[in-house]
Amino acid sequence: MTTPAPYTQRRRPLRSAGAFLSGLVMNVLALLGVVCIIAVICAFAFNITLIMFRTGSMHPTIPAGSLAVVQEVPAETVEVGDIVTIDREPGLLPVTHRVIAVTPGPGGSTFIEMQGDANPNPDPAPYQVRTVRTVLWHVPELAKAVVKLSDPRVMAGITLGAALLVGWAFWPRREDDDEQSAPANVNSGTAP
């Protein structure tokens, strides 16, 4: 008959800095993923889009290179002083300026007169529209970062990095790692 080995409690090793850092990175990325999902749902639910300012016609309120969040609303809800984006005919870029006059038009349309904050004169003619996009808020200089991130080489690098990170996260671990983190087995003290 053999006697059981005395119970010795194994100390659980401290998590290495690499393991802590990798866990932190994965949690931050998961949080960013959730934020992106919520942003996409809000964009569809509330007709929200992004626009980039290429010119300084709204300077200093909205400088060139800013990224703005805009929401589509009926034109009749616009008030003087609002900053709105109006889509022009195909082939022309939208215009974003401050509203200086609003007049009801025929058939449910609205005439909106606008002027850029940096422009000495109003836009040449009023715009006849049914909907506009109002500027909710903007971030200066963010449009430049978005343009750089939309470069195909940068997108390819981000995609490759994300794929490597996901592969690393789900890569099978060595059995040694599992044994170190598993609790020690205790014999019952009875022999067969």
Where does the pLDDT of residue 10 fall: very low under 50, low under 70, confident under 90, or very high at 90 and above?
low
More confident of the two residues 99 and 149: 99
Residue 185 covered by a domain: no
Provide the Cα torsion 29, 32, 33, 36; round to 10°. Answer: -160
Residue 25 covered by a domain: no
Q: Give mean pLDDT, residues 139-146.
A: 90
Q: Is 134 a residue whose pLDDT tops 70? A: yes
Residue 95 covered by a domain: yes
Residue 81 covered by a domain: yes
Q: Give mean pLDDT, residues 148-167.
A: 88
Q: Is 170 a residue whose pLDDT tops 70? A: yes
Where does the pLDDT of residue 165 fall: very low under 50, low under 70, confident under 90, or very high at 90 and above?
confident
Residue 71 covered by a domain: yes
The predicted-structure confidence for 14-53, as pLDDT tens digits, reads as follows 667 777 887 888 888 889 889 989 989 989 999 999 999 9
Q: Is 181 a residue whose pLDDT tops 70? A: no
> pTM for the full model?
0.67
| Per-residue pLDDT, 125 | 93
Closest CA to 117 of 97, 139, 140, 95: 97
The Cα–Cα gap between 190 and 1 comes to 9
Helices (H), 64-170: 142-149, 152-170
Tokens 């904050």 locate to 117
Question: Which CATH number goes with the domain that contains 88?
Answer: 2.10.109.10
Q: How many domains does the chain have?
A: 1
Where does the pLDDT of residue 133 fall: very low under 50, low under 70, confident under 90, or very high at 90 and above?
very high
Residue 75 covered by a domain: yes
Residue 11 covered by a domain: no
The Cα–Cα gap between 37 and 40 comes to 5
Helices (H), 15-67: 17-46
Residue 61 covered by a domain: yes
| Per-residue pLDDT, 149 | 85
Q: Which domain holds residue 49?
A: 45-141
| Per-residue pLDDT, 110 | 96
